[in-house]
Structure 1
Amino acid sequence: MRFVTTTALLALIAAPALAEGWKDDYQVIKFGILSGENEKDRLMRNEPLRVYLEEQLGVTVEIFTAGNYDGVIQAMAADQIEVARFGSSSYAAAYTATDGGVIPTLTTIKKDGNTGYKSIVVTRCDSGITSLEDAKGKVHAFADPDSTSGYAVPYFNMVTVEGFKPEEHFGTVTFGGSHEADVTGVVNGTFDTASTYQNSEDNSIVTRMEAKGMIDEGVVCKIWTSPEITSGPWTFRDNLPAEMIEEITATIEAFPEADPEGFKLYSSFDPEDANPTVGFTRVDAERYQWIVDMRAWIKAQRRSGS
């Protein structure tokens, strides 16, 4: 009887620790966000999600930012952060940097069920440039070497679909550093054209900057649109406990319903957008393999100098 009592006592003592599971080893979770917009706005938009995750998971949740996309990618590769919201191309870069050691779990979904967005090329509406052909010999800015819509997709399509190498077609090719910097450079005349993105006709980096008063309405116009790109995934290191990945994934997945107002801020909800982002849907690595392959193609092109 004494043996049974002692065993039961030990079980009671051990129960709370066992119940915590992965949280015993991960009291702080850091999630990375990319530099698509200025840091103040990035942190403001993601704060509702950070607070929600902290409350639901019962651990400290911190946001990790960097000056460029590669900073978040390398933080993931160095095990400095547990999870990040990548674009498709930066996910592929993280996949390569970790030798496949990352797991994508969620991406955003629109009201109409669409899970993609598009790369666009923009110019000043008064520039006289109405096509990529018109931009020949001009200054073109890509956003960031690890940006899907701001570099990989437009570069790939310019070569394989439009039939020209950007370095040979444009007079100068440069990187603005972020989508907002690209658009600002176009407005200021630093760049003649720039690559960036749109979620829909009414929701893009241009409309966001107009809504925030960063640029005047009607100054920036679109001259090229890519095929649809699968939205980037929430991505975890694959050396994390499987139950941890699933619990955090499920918690993020429930965010839109659990905190509708917080999700509106996070997703930059526009009441005039007929097709807003409404939530998340599950994805896997196979969904992004073509992006991994595209980046490998681009790297091979650079290496061969062709």
Structure 2
Amino acid sequence: MKLFTTAAIVALAAAGPLLAEGWRDDYQVIKFGILSGENEQDRLMRNEPLRVYLEETLGVDVEIFTAGNYDGVVQAIAADQIEVARFGSSSYAAVYTATDGGVVPTLTSIAENGNTGYHSIVVTRCDSGIESLEDAAGKVHAFADPDSTSGYAVPYFNMVEREGFVPEEHFAAVPFSGSHEAGVQGVVNGTFDTASTYQDNDTDGVYQRMEIKGMIEEGVICKIWESPEITSGPWTFRKNLPAEMIEEVTAAIEAFPTDDVEGFRLYSSWTEDNPNPDAGFTRVDHDRYQWIVDMREWLREQRRGS
């Protein structure tokens, strides 16, 4: 009996590391999705430090998943093709609806001053003569993407409910540009008169970052409208993943800003003159985003009615 017990102990000890792997046995590769808010080269570059950090911290391969539009990432997580994605508030609501609640939000960004939100804005060329949404009547307005919170859902909702007009009736046309950068670039080029996009504050947003990157000249784009604050979108996991996996990956993302300060600065587009840069992440749950789910349902009803 003693020999059997000893052999059993040795066998268990040898198997110990394998048993300890837990969820890693089934998920040796983690894929995280990122939305198409900017050109693919820049979004891959910004997210590379996080990918490397997660790979080293978690001990599994980590891959970045991109798609040509927001819905591509929504469908990928709904089809179990990726494990986690960083969504905007509206695209989170889209994937929550598409999966019948089969996703779990865990983290969102928090700024240095404690804010966890940003603003939808409408921009135009500074030399266009358009200084308000009223001035833009009869002009071409570009929304970013049907699943964009700041680029479509929030500005559309506010235009109808707070500004008192229906975009399809107020503007000459309301095309989708495909991304925030494409919308801003279209305004610069004269393809669109105005466009919906977002900013965290007056020194940090889509068009400001495009100026920094040399994509557009400084002083060409001006803001003419700003929404109330929007809760930043969450890091979102499939609910059918192991709970311990969701927690470990969440904890790793949460630690990234302090464990790799320079990597987080690149990821968050940190600039020295930004008075309120992203400082890290804070925990969230679905209740934080239910109003966005409700707003998207309102938008669907509006479309059905028209």
Shift of 1:2: 2.1
Find the aligned partners of 1:18 and 1:291 in 2 and give their Cα distance: 41
- Superposed, which structure 2 residues align to 1:163-178 within 5 Å? 163-178=164-179
State the match for 2:14 in structure 1: 13
State the match for 2:242 in structure 1: 241
Q: Which aligned segments of 4 or more residues in structure 1 are displaced greater than 4 angstroms?
A: none
Identical-pair percentage: 76
Shift of 1:150: 0.1
SS in 1 for 2:7: helix
Shift of 1:14: 2.4
State the match for 2:215 in structure 1: 214
SS in 2 for 1:93: helix
Q: Counterpart amino acid of 1:87?
A: G
Shift of 1:4: 1.5
State the match for 1:150 in structure 2: 151
State the match for 1:250 in structure 2: 251
TM-score, structure 1 length as denominator? 0.99
Shift of 1:262: 0.3
Q: Counterpart amino acid of 2:205?
A: S
State the match for 1:116 in structure 2: 117
Find the aligned partners of 1:242 and 1:300 in 2 and give their Cα distance: 35
Find the aligned partners of 2:173 and 2:111 in 1 and give their Cα distance: 36
State the match for 1:279 in structure 2: 280
Shift of 1:29: 0.4
State the match for 2:81 in structure 1: 80
State the match for 1:89 in structure 2: 90
State the match for 1:31 in structure 2: 32
The answer as to 2:264 corresponding to 1:263 is yes
State the match for 1:231 in structure 2: 232
Q: Counterpart amino acid of 1:287?
A: R
Find the aligned partners of 1:42 and 1:296 in 2 and give their Cα distance: 30
SS in 1 for 2:114: coil
Q: Counterpart amino acid of 1:258?
A: D
Find the aligned partners of 2:18 and 2:291 in 1 and give their Cα distance: 43
The answer as to 2:110 corresponding to 1:132 is no
- Superposed, which structure 2 residues align to 1:52-67 within 5 Å? 52-67=53-68
State the match for 1:44 in structure 2: 45
What per-residue deviation string (whole Å, max 9, x for no partner) do you get for residues 33-75 of structure 1?
0000000000000000000000010000000000000000000
What per-residue deviation string (whole Å, max 9, x for no partner) do you get for residues 99-124 of structure 1?
11000000000000000000000000
Shift of 1:143: 0.2
> Which blocks of at least 5 consecutive residues in structure 2 are unaligned?
none
The answer as to 2:237 corresponding to 1:204 is no
Q: Counterpart amino acid of 2:8?
A: T
SS in 1 for 2:296: helix
SS in 2 for 1:92: helix
Q: CA RMSD in A?
A: 0.6
Find the aligned partners of 1:23 and 1:9 in 2 and give their Cα distance: 23
State the match for 2:194 in structure 1: 193
Find the aligned partners of 1:214 and 1:262 in 2 and give their Cα distance: 23
Find the aligned partners of 2:165 and 2:177 in 1 and give their Cα distance: 21
SS in 1 for 2:218: coil
Find the aligned partners of 1:133 and 1:148 in 2 and give their Cα distance: 22
Q: Counterpart amino acid of 1:157?
A: N
SS in 2 for 1:218: coil
What per-residue deviation string (whole Å, max 9, x for no partner) do you get for residues 142-194 of structure 1?
00000000000000000111111100111111100000000000000100000
Find the aligned partners of 1:167 and 1:67 in 2 and give their Cα distance: 25
Q: Counterpart amino acid of 2:12?
A: A
Find the aligned partners of 1:46 and 1:60 in 2 and give their Cα distance: 15
Name the count of aligned residue pairs: 305
Find the aligned partners of 2:271 and 2:7 in 1 and give their Cα distance: 61
Shift of 1:10: 2.7
Shift of 1:3: 2.8
Shift of 1:17: 1.5
> Which blocks of at least 5 consecutive residues in structure 1 are unaligned?
none
Q: Counterpart amino acid of 1:272?
A: D
Find the aligned partners of 2:43 and 2:207 in 1 and give their Cα distance: 16
Find the aligned partners of 2:80 and 2:14 in 1 and give their Cα distance: 32
Find the aligned partners of 2:272 and 2:61 in 1 and give their Cα distance: 33
State the match for 1:183 in structure 2: 184
